A and B are shown apart, each in its own frame.
Chain A
Amino acid sequence: MKPAPFSYVRPMTVEEALFALAQQGDEAKVLAGGQSLIAMMNLRLLKPRCLVDINRVAALDYIRQDNGTLAIGALTRQSAAETSPLVLQHCPLMTEAIQYIAHRPIRNRGTVGGNLAHADPTSELPAVAVATDATFVVRSANGQRTILAADFFVGHLTTALRPDELLTEVRVPPWRPAGQGWSFMEVSPRKGDYALVGVAATLQVKDGACQAARLVYNGVAGRAQRVPEAERALVGRHADEAAFREAASIASQRVDPHSDFHATAAYRRDLVNTLTRRALAQALARCGKRSA
C-alpha cells in the first residue's frame, strides 16, 4: 500500500527540528532512517499528519569518545556504527549486536537513535543500551534532559520521550576491558528476521570468580528485559559451566515470553536458557581481550 498524505518539514539544525516538533505536537513523527516508520506508514498502521525529516541535521551524525564515554549522535547510521573502530573499542557488545539488525541495505539507512526511539521489543540495540547502562540525551524547545536506558523503554513501541522531544545522543559509560567479557547472541527464523530471542551479556571475572554480570533479553517481553535474579546467581561463583547453567535456568524461569506464529512461549524460554549459557561461555572466553 501507499502512505496517507502528510506535510513534510526538513530542518537543517537541531533547533529547527525542535521548533517544528513544538509547533506540531503529537501530530508529527520524527523521520530518521525510516526503516520501521515508512514500512508502518505504507501499511497504514501509522498516519502522521506531519513528518519532521532530520536526515539533513548533520550535527546529529557523529561517533566520539570523551574520557572513555562513547557518544553516538542519534542520526548515526547503523552501518557506520557497525564498522566504527571507536564503537568496537568502547562498546564491542554494540558492534556485535548491530550485525543482527535486519540486512545491510536497512542498516545503511537505519539510525542508532531511530532504532532506540522506535523501541521495538525484539530489537537488539535497546538490550545493549540497558546492558551497558547507557543514557539518552533528549532535547526539546524547552531544554534538555538525560534518561537512563532502563527508564527510557516503557513498553511495546513506547518510550519516555514526549511528543515535542528529540533523542539527540546515546552515551555509553566507559568500558574497562580488563577482566570483562561480552556477548550478543540471537536466534531468528531466518537471517535478519525479527528476533525470537536475543541476549546481551556482560561478565566481569577476577581470579576465576564472577564479580558482576548483566543479562538483558530482547524478544521476551514488551521491552528489553533485564533479569537481575540470574545475574545475582553468578556473583561470587566460580565462572564455569555449572554457574552458567544455573543462571540460564533461572533466567528461563523468570522471563514470561509470548507465543505467536513463529514460536511458542516454551520454545522462547528454551532459547533463553540455551543462549544464556552460550553467551556467558563466550563472554568468559573474551574476558580481558579487547575485541573478538
Chain B
Amino acid sequence: MEQEKVTVTVNGLRYERLVEPRRLLCDFIRQDLGLSGTHVGCEHGVCGMCTVLVNGQTARSCLMFAVQADGASITTVEGVGTPSKMHPLQQAFWEKHGLQCGFCTPAMLVTALELLNHNPTPSRDEIREAISSNLCRCTGYQTIVDSVEHAATLMRGGV
C-alpha cells in the first residue's frame, strides 16, 4: 500500500511517520502517536468529540486525513495541561462539575480554548454558541457553560 511521509508537531513535539493517505487524523493521533485523549465518536463530523486545534484553530480530526496535517502544529487535550499543572479551563471544569462521564471533555476543552483565545469575556450565549459543535449526553451543558464562564474569570486573574 502506498504510504506518505507526514511530519507534524503535536503539543510541541515533532513526529515523523509513514501513513496511508486514507489514515484519518484522529486515528493517527490516537493509534500512531499513542495520544488517546482525543476521542472518536461518530466518525462523520457530527458529534465533535475528535476536535483538536490545527494551527490554533478547531478542526474535526475525523474530517481530515493525517497526510493533510503535514507541516501543521496540532494541540490535543494532552497539550492543554497536566494533572499536576492544570490549565485554568481544566481547573474550572473540575470545580464547576463540567464533566460526568468525561467522553466529551477533551473536545469541550479545546473548543473552549479557541473561544477564550478570541474572546476573553464571552457571554453565556457566546459560550453556548461555541460549544454547540460538541455533543454531551450527561451534563445538559449547564455545568459546561458554568465551567467556561468560570475559566474566563480565572484566566483574567480572578477567583
Contact = CB atoms under 8 A, between A and B. Distances in A.
B132 A108 contact: no
Given A38-B65, A103-B48, A108-B59, A191 B132 contact: yes
A5 B1 contact: yes
Contact of B59 (A105, A190, A191): A105
A270 interface: no
A34 interface: yes
Contact of B133 (A5, A43, A79, A192): A192
Interface in A182-202: 190-192
Given A35-B45, A104-B130, A109 B21 contact: no
B60 interface: yes
A215 B19 CA distance: 48
Given A51-B21, A192-B132, A109 B43 contact: no
Interface residues of B, number: 30
Nearest to B131: A103
Contact of B21 (A8, A42, A108): A8
B111 A42 contact: no
Contact of A7 (B2, B44, B65, B111): B2
Interface in B1-53: 1-2, 4, 20-22, 24, 27, 43-45, 48, 51
A32 to B, nearest CB: 11
A191 B64 contact: no
Please classify the interface of chain B as helix (H, G, I), strand (E, B), loop, or mixed, using the class held by over half of its residues.
mixed
A55 B4 CA distance: 16
Given A35-B45, A108-B57, A109-B60, A8 B24 contact: no
Contacts of A55: 68
B114 interface: yes
A35 B21 contact: no
B62 interface: yes
B67 interface: yes
Nearest to A109: B59
A191 B62 CA distance: 21
25 contacts: A1-B43, A2-B24, A3-B22, A6-B21, A6-B22, A7-B2, A8-B4, A8-B65, A34-B63, A35-B60, A38-B24, A41-B22, A42-B24, A53-B68, A79-B57, A102-B133, A103-B132, A103-B133, A104-B114, A105-B111, A106-B60, A106-B63, A108-B54, A108-B57, A191-B129
Given A10-B67, A34-B63, A105-B51, 8 more contacts: A5-B22, A8-B65, A38-B24, A38-B63, A39-B63, A42-B43, A53-B67, A103-B133
